[in-house]
Amino acid sequence: MNPTNLQLVGTILFALAVCHTFLVSKIQHLAHKYPEGSIMENLLHFLGEVEAVFGIWAAIFIAYYSATEGLMIFDADHKVVGGALRYLEQDLNFTEPAFVFVIMAMAGTRPIIVFAEKIILAISKVIPLPGRMAFYIASLVIGPILGSFITEPAAMTVTALILLDYYYSNEMSDKFKYATLGLLFVNISIGGTLSHFAAPPVLMVASKWHWGFGHMITNFGYKAVISIVVGTFAVAFMFKNELKGKLEIKAKHDNWMEPTWWITLVHLVFMGLVVYTAHHMVFFLGLFLFFLGFAAVTQEYQDEIKLKESLLVGFFLGGLVVLGGQQAWWLQPVLAKLPDLALFGGSTALTAITDNAALTYLGSLVELTDAKKYYLVAGAVAGGGLTVIANAPNPAGFGILKSSFGKDGISPIGLLAGAIGPTILAMICFLVLPSLGQ
């Protein structure tokens, strides 16, 4: 391992960014010591936004890159052949951050949320348990499994908004909130493995390794479903006293209008087209502009579109892409040398401090046996709930639910504690259950 100066600085800044994510609540607390609306208060609030962390450190890295290598280096034909801009434009791919921004904004609209609520409510009525507990179980089972078809960021947005309305807005204990948050993050991470296009860590390797629908369901999907169901029932019964009683359908304000079937259908078509063209940023961004126009026309059936929240999540992931591109020098040798079971445990642990999509992508650059491929991806998705940076959709759920945790926001230690149980359960399912059709 002989890293260049750029790689070394990139890794140091990446480590500082990870440390920064653990300090955001303390920075937010500092902000309250300054007059409201002052420059210092606003600056500290910005530095305390977990979604801004990686973007901030990525900007510092690009500034260092520009200072040492130049911003743009041209050849005789005036083509950019070096410098920071070349790194951003030619070495990196920002399609996934853009996709998460668009799909999160679409999935957070009133027609999609109401549609998802109706599906989950109908299924919860079949579960022979008290109303609040049945709806809780249905939300945390059906929402994440839907992620295999509408993509994980969309599933995270929908499920988190439902949890916010029905559980996090009520007087629930912090212990319940953290246990549910950890369960949500893990369930979303593994729930996208029924297909080959929905979970970012699977998407990164599926085409190269020729993994299709059949392979995903028989090797990963059914194991993930078992883990999701068992884990959700376990957490629900742990907090049965907080989940007892009938489900109270949230009251709508006087001017609230329920979206008509055709408005919901148009939303679903827009989302379907964005998912179908997920690798083609120019097309789905154009679609999104048309979608914003449609939402403006049907404004009386809409809530305010969550553009700021979605952009912050996109900014977070963009920063992760910039800094993640400098981690191959140490990650690839580590992945190549680990034996099968150590790779499984190692990828679960490494996911917590990197990003599971970056991890599997770097693994795909190394020659791996079929067993190692399985353990790499299984570990990456199992560990996807341990931290906010572990899985691309996590910042979306984090951004939606953080206001329910008081002025200091979500504690990374609390999230880790809430996710440990479901993570171990997912690891056991992926390790013990046999792959079908073999």
What pLDDT band is residue 78 in, cutting at 50, 70 and 90?
confident
Share of the chain above pLDDT 70, in %: 97
State yes or no: pLDDT of 103 exceeds 90.
no
The 10s digit of each residue's pLDDT in 128-154 is 888 899 999 999 999 999 888 877 888
Model pLDDT, residue 381: 96
Contact 135, 121 (CB under 8 A): yes
141 exposure class (CB count in 10 Å sphere: 0-12, 13-18, 19+): buried
- Classified as helix, coil or strand, 171 is coil
Determine the pLDDT at residue 336.
Answer: 79
What are the phi and psi torsion angles at 272 (to 5°)? -60, -40
In this prediction, residue 324 carries a pLDDT of: 83
| Mean pLDDT value of segment 100-126 | 88
State residue 438's pLDDT score: 57
Cα 74 to Cα 186: distance, rounded to the nearest angstrom:
46
How confident is the model at residue 225, as a pLDDT? 97
Residues 399, 335: Cα–Cα separation, whole Å: 31
Tokens representing residue 251 in the block: 């009251």
Percent of the chain whose predicted confidence (pLDDT) is above 90 = 47
Q: Above 80 in pLDDT, residue 17? A: yes
For 311-350, b where at least 16 C-beta lie within 10 A, e where not — what string?
A: ebbbbbbbbbbbbbbbbbbebeebbeebeeeebbbbbbeb
Residue-wise pLDDT for 45-56, tens only, equals 899 887 788 899
Cα four-point dihedral sign 217, 222, 228, 231:
negative
pLDDT in tens, 18-40: 888 878 878 888 988 899 889 99
- pLDDT averaged over every residue in the chain: 89
Per-residue pLDDT, averaged over 87-107, amounts to: 88
How high is the pLDDT of residue 251? 61
What gap in Å lies between CA 377 and CA 191, rounded to an integer? 13
Q: Is the pLDDT of residue 437 over 70?
A: no
* Tens-place pLDDT, residues 279-306: 899 999 999 999 999 999 999 999 889 8
pLDDT, tens digit, 9 for 90 and up, residues 238-260: 999 998 888 777 666 656 788 99
Q: What is the mean pLDDT of residues 104-123?
A: 87
**Across 227-245, average pLDDT:** 93
Give the model's confidence band at 436: pLDDT under 50 very low, under 70 low, under 90 confident, else very high. confident
Positive or negative, the Cα torsion across 63, 10, 95, 88?
Answer: positive
Please give the Cα distance from 200 to 354 (Å, whole number): 13
Q: In 3-state terms, what secondary structure has residue 253?
A: coil
Pair of tokens at residue 65: 């890159």
